[in-house]
Copies of this chain bind each other. A is one copy, B any other.
Amino acid sequence: MRIGIIGAGQLGRMLALAGYPLGLRFTFLDKTADTPGGQLAEIITGDFDDPALLKQLAEQCACLTFDWENVPVEPLKQLGHDVPIMPPLNALETGQDRLAEKQLFAELGIPTADYAAVNSLAELTEAAGKLGYPCLLKTRRMGYDGKGQHLLGSERDLAAAWEALGGNALILEQFVNFDYEVSQIAARSTQGETDYYPLARNAHKNGILHYSIAPWSEPQLESQARDFLGRMLEHFAYAGILTVEFFVCGKRLIANEMAPRVHNSGHWTIEGAHTSQFENHLRAILGLPLGDASARGHSAMLNLLGSMPVLPSLLQLPGLHVHDYGKSPRPLRKVGHCTLVCETASARDAGLQDLLGLAPSAAG
């Protein structure tokens, strides 16, 4: 059976690597051939919104999925019922718009920061007055890894932020003074079977995920997170992996954003869970039984940015698993990650410190 993946980045690559053992085959669609996914599977090159290429992909494949949340939705809708597309397009569409996302969280009773849509400097000024400072002005669309965001410390920052982002559809969000961030990843199959990965704690640097540790043992937070994701899975009649990042404020969770796909904060599951998020995404969209999402040991996943460290220095660390995405170097580009799996949380924490000492430049 052949699966079509729109977007051939590292997420697509890891989906293919997880799917080959199941006997699946893959065709990617992306702009250029020498992509992380295109290096190990068929690839159709061209634009994500080219109807002819999407049709060609659909004709070859039993099911389509995507590895990027900003894939244009309209051309996929035009494909109609030619081929199943999972996760569902209404989840993709919601995840592309911070305002729609916030409105959905609110509708489902999932706490978020206070927010307001803003379409002019006057609206921005008024909204900032209501929400208070500091607050965050963000583009509603296409923001990721901290891009398209401005932190407003006071009224004096309004004009510059508007200068930078005005003209885009924008949302102003109250700044959440959170303790730390966690991710909850869930899988739901087309058969309705649902499972949850252990909570992961995330640390960022320069607005980009730096490392995640899992399982993060906070049963009360995990129970809230699972409840919230369960509502979303039901709402969308979801199929595939769904990720939500939450701010932790004491014992409360505040939803930050959703991703209708496998997620960087779940890369630890390749070696650190019985079944990886990538394999479970494929099982879920194909209606196969889900694999055990529980943890094996205690993991830390560190992103490798810019360029890959030399392999021998990494591989000499016991229990470390290296993932090179086959990308050319570029400052702050995610070129790989590595995952440390240990028998105890304390060994993992000590190992992570060693790792951070070894690969500081690679990590940001």
Interface residues of A (CB under 8 A from B): 13, 16-17, 20-23, 25, 39-41, 274, 283, 288-289, 291-292, 296-297, 308, 311-312, 315-316, 318-319, 321-326, 336, 341
B13 touches A39 (CB 8 A): no
Q: Which of B17, B289, B321 contacts A20 (CB 8 A)?
A: B17
Query: Could you jot down 29 A-B contacts, CB within 8 Å?
Result: A16-B40, A17-B20, A17-B21, A20-B39, A20-B326, A21-B321, A21-B323, A21-B324, A22-B311, A22-B322, A23-B308, A23-B325, A23-B326, A23-B336, A25-B326, A40-B41, A274-B319, A274-B341, A283-B315, A288-B311, A288-B312, A288-B315, A289-B312, A289-B315, A289-B316, A291-B315, A292-B319, A296-B296, A296-B297
- Shortest A219–chain B CB gap in Å is 21
Give the chain B neighbours of A296 by CB distance below 8 A: 296-297
Beyond known contacts A13-B20, A23-B336: 16 more, CB 8 A cutoff: A16-B40, A17-B17, A17-B21, A20-B326, A21-B322, A21-B323, A22-B324, A23-B311, A23-B325, A25-B326, A40-B40, A274-B341, A288-B312, A289-B312, A289-B315, A292-B319
Closest to A291 in B: B315
- Shortest A148–chain B CB gap in Å is 31
Give the chain B neighbours of A322 by CB distance below 8 A: 21-22
Count of this chain's copies in the oligomeric assembly: 2
Closest to A13 in B: B20
A34 CA / B322 CA spacing, docked (Å): 29
A25 CA / B20 CA spacing, docked (Å): 16
- Shortest A20–chain B CB gap in Å is 6
- Shortest A275–chain B CB gap in Å is 8
Closest to A286 in B: B311
B336 touches A318 (CB 8 A): no
A324 CA / B282 CA spacing, docked (Å): 15
